[in-house]
Chain A
Amino acid sequence: MSFTPNIQAFCCHYTSQQSLAEGPEGLKADGMPENITINRLVCGGKLQETTLLQAFEDGADAVFFVGCPIDQCHNKKGSERAAKRVLAVKNALQELGLGAERAEMFHSERGFHIEFVEAAQLMNKRITALGPAFEGGAK
């Protein structure tokens, strides 16, 4: 059975600004997998654990967050806070037997950098190999 994972990407306004300026077609041309949905937040500091968990409730097979490098956060601590919350979700997913690898934190500098797309490609490859988060999730 072929499986195309539902992956929800969350990113901070600053990290993603230039990447999103490329537009869906531009990002696709850069190699962004089409099954990745990008959700933009004003800052990593606004990321809540419940936001990531809700994605799983809504059918996501994985989530990841792309934020500024820890020492380059526009709002000082936002990226650090996001990393902590992603870690909490990773631990919870492990507890639930879903696997910590279904959540990940990435740091990327502002402006368009290929790392933004590479993070998505890495997650897509990882989760495609891992399979659906929930039984009956394969399409």
Chain B
Amino acid sequence: MIIAERKPMSEILDMVKDAKKILVLACRGCVSVCSAGGEREADILASLIRIGLKKEGKKAKVSTGSLVRQCDKEYIDAIDQFKGTYDAIVSTACGVGVNFIANLRPKDTVYPGLNTSFMGGSAEQGIWAEQCGGCGDCVLHLTGGLCPVVRCAKSLMNGPCGGSVDGRCEIHNDVECIWQSIHDRMNRIGQADGLDRIAPIRDWSSATHGGPRKTVRDDLTVS
């Protein structure tokens, strides 16, 4: 899922400083699962905005709403139900949601309530860890299912580097050396021979280096 965190309140309050009617719009997708931008978090943020404005001696009507997701046109259309209740939207979706509202609601003002962090999973309750960089050219079949693109600090394709010590990364002792883990795992599952193959120089054009990406599925598109 997409992991995100609330932006600092100083940033958010600065965004809405001129708004008189603010809609804090939750997303019931990924960001609700990682407790960053679901209905509960939108309620908290709305309250914090009201308290922040009160402290600054300002007045604005701050309400909340939520959409099933903010990354599909059909759900963005549901913003119509809040018509007249806002002059600024603070979206607690990931950056995709904010972009979708900006794309589809040309006259609406929308601000991000969250910093979108990464694609990851729940390591344990309250802790999320990055697992996938969305690079567009997956090598997990060659690395025992562990991603060197995003879980190696240097995105090495032929690791580990010389900085790996006792299975830990040289950037920080808290970070596992994913290449050590890849070697351990490939040995464990009987695929160590695969590590003799030298990965070629990587073409990063499928990642963000090639500009905005788009997937077209002819079997799904309808005119």
| Bound pair (A, B) | yes
Q: How far is the CA of A97 from the CA of B48 in the complex (A)?
A: 11
Q: How far is the CA of A124 from the CA of B49 in the complex (A)?
A: 26
Q: With CB as the reference atom, state the residue of chain B lying closest to A88.
A: B44
- Say yes or no for A50: interface residue by CB 8 A criterion: yes
- A76 CB to closest chain B CB, in angstroms? 14
Q: Is the CB of B54 within 8 A of A92?
A: no
Q: Is the CB of B8 within 8 A of A95?
A: yes
Q: How far is the CA of A95 from the CA of B13 in the complex (A)?
A: 11
Q: Is the CB of B44 within 8 A of A50?
A: yes
The count of residues in chain A whose C-beta lies closer than 8 Å to any C-beta of chain B is 15
- Say yes or no for B120: interface residue by CB 8 A criterion: no
- A82 CB to closest chain B CB, in angstroms? 15
Interface of B is mostly: helix
Q: With CB as the reference atom, state the residue of chain B lying closest to A97.
A: B55
Q: Is the CB of A135 within 8 A of B57?
A: yes
- Say yes or no for A134: interface residue by CB 8 A criterion: yes
Chain B residues, CB < 8 A from A98: 51, 55
Looking at the complex, which one of A54, A95, A97, A133 makes contact with B47 (CB distance below 8 Å)? Answer: A54
- B14 CB to closest chain A CB, in angstroms? 13
Contact sample, A vs B, 21 pairs, CB 8 Å cutoff: A48-B40, A50-B43, A50-B44, A53-B44, A53-B48, A53-B51, A54-B47, A56-B51, A56-B54, A57-B51, A92-B48, A95-B8, A95-B9, A95-B10, A96-B9, A96-B51, A96-B52, A96-B55, A98-B51, A98-B55, A133-B55
Q: Given contacts A53-B48, A53-B51, could you give 9 more A-B pairs where the C-beta distance is less than 8 Å?
A: A50-B44, A53-B47, A57-B51, A57-B54, A92-B9, A95-B48, A96-B48, A97-B55, A135-B57
Chain A to chain B: the 8 pairs with minimum beta-carbon distance, closest first: A53-B47, A95-B9, A96-B52, A50-B43, A56-B51, A49-B44, A57-B50, A96-B9
